[in-house]
Amino acid sequence: MKRTLKILCTDLDRTLFPNGQQAVEPEGMNNFVEFVRDRNFRLIYNSGRCKQEILEGVKEFGAPAPDIMIGEVGTKIYFREGEEYREEREWPKWLGENTPDWDVGLLRDLVLREAGARLQPEYHQNPFKVSFFLEPLSTAPAMADKLSQEIRQKIPGATTVYSVDETEGEALFDILPAAATKLHALEYVRRKLGEKREEVFFSGDSGNDLEALTGGYCGALVRNAIPEVKEALMERAQKAGVEDMIYLCQGDGPWGNGYFVSGIMEGLAHFGWAPSRKEKRADK
Ligand SMILES: [Mg+2]
């Protein structure tokens, strides 16, 4: 049975935005723009970036304007209304109600006791997101593990997300309510729109995408993902029993090298939503 695509949700940095080290497929973004132009599905961007940074990236990389933005790792949701994006006020309200033990002051104190931890700039913080850099990069994973354990004990309603910005060489450590991740925010939007999980496509490249990639959607990991992320994804997918809903981009299809946005097209083709080049020509 052929599924209908109802929601195309993607991570931005090094997934839709080709801002990594691999070769950029020259027609990659044009193909994507063409694919979403006359869409009868919702286009959602789901990123660690804040609203302003998402809009800047859209401009910088020539990406299409989304219908919905999920920003700051799932802690903010915006719906497009005309040319504007309106923040969904129900979402932080829901987060507060579902995370009664949330305590930003306590979290900051706890993490800043580590010598290698420092706060990210103020525009990366919000009432439901506390974000740090961990240094040096070599010991950051161990530091993140230790901090995550401590945080789980002190504030069970909090979750931690560790990821590496490979371009900047920075280890990022975010603390969020367990109910406020990229996955939870997408689930909130999906339920609000009344769509089925299997008619949602999600693409990503790094640690903070793993939960959404294995959320029961049609998930594609772009080819530039590092081996550790590929392994972690397959392990998680097996545990969740959703291996057949996951596609690892290979760069051997009609949409090019599989890096960044060309990987999104490859993933869409894998799930039968994007045509092969041949069909595309025949259409015209
Ligand atoms: Mg990314």
* 143-167 pLDDT, tens digit each: 999 999 999 999 999 999 898 887 7
- Ligand 1 centre from 80 Cα, in Å? 22
| Burial status of residue 81 (CB atoms within 10 A of its CB: 0-12, 13-18, 19 or more) | exposed
Q: Residues lining ligand 1 (ion), CB within 5 A?
A: 11, 13-15, 205-206
Confidence (pLDDT) at 277: 63
Q: Which long-range contacts (CB under 8 A, 24 or more apart) does 108-114 make?
A: 110/147, 110/150, 110/151, 110/154, 111/147, 111/151, 111/173, 111/175, 114/143, 114/147
How many CB atoms are located within 10 Å of the residue 282 CB? 9
Q: What pTM did the predictor assign?
A: 0.89
- Ligand 1 centre from 177 Cα, in Å? 20
- Ligand 1 centre from 133 Cα, in Å? 16
Confidence (pLDDT) at 154: 94
Weakly modelled stretches of the chain, pLDDT under 70: 1, 277-284
Question: 158: which strand partners?
Answer: 177
Confidence (pLDDT) at 255: 95
Confidence (pLDDT) at 282: 42
- Ligand 1 centre from 176 Cα, in Å? 18
- Please, what's the b/e burial string for 85-114 (b: 16 or more CB within 10 A of its CB; e: otherwise)? beebeebbebbeeebeebbeeebbebbeeb
- Ligand 1 centre from 281 Cα, in Å? 31
Confidence (pLDDT) at 276: 73
- Ligand 1 centre from 77 Cα, in Å? 18
3-state SS string for 186-204:
HHHHHHHHCCCHHHEEEEE
Domains of the chain by start residue, with CATH:
7-92+181-283 (3.40.50.1000), 100-177 (3.90.1070.10)
- Ligand 1 centre from 185 Cα, in Å? 16
Confidence (pLDDT) at 224: 97
- Ligand 1 centre from 211 Cα, in Å? 13
- Ligand 1 centre from 283 Cα, in Å? 33
